[in-house]
Amino acid sequence: MALLTAETFRLQFNNKRRLRRPYYPRKALLCYQLTPQNGSTPTRGYFENKKKCHAEICFINEIKSMGLDETQCYQVTCYLTWSPCSSCAWELVDFIKAHDHLNLRIFASRLYYHWCKPQQDGLRLLCGSQVPVEVMGFPDSRGTCAGSLHGYIV
């Protein structure tokens, strides 16, 4: 799977409140890393929203299609430009409950409609289901923030 360009990454994962002109549409992107606990090479990829399929659902479908060994444990880390909407939060929880060999962590650049109760409930559901959701911070003096996104961009 192709990686994001550095420019796409810089524009889309920017979590500043105010943007300078020219403005650009903020896309919903999900970058992931699937790491087998046996030390094998991690699998990386990304998805963006499609017309009738959010990036989270595309991600779930991709992981299901991989035919992962259910006797093997996997760490899955997702980096999202927006936190999951409430319906995607439910889908992610159902997916993780059905696949107990997966351990999912989510880092979001921005919170999606965080002032709306359904979105708050979705985030609470994820956290209550052992799926931590963290908001990425601004880059520190070394240029890094929560989680490591190196390797997702070209």
Q: Which residues are catalytic?
A: 56
Which tokens hold the place of 26? 């903020």
**Could you tell me which of 5, 13, 59, 3 has the C-alpha nearest to residue 34?**
59
Question: Helix count (H) and strand count (E) of the chain?
Answer: 4, 5
Q: CB–CB of 91/59 below 8 Å?
A: no
CA–CA dist 32, 46 (Å, integer): 6
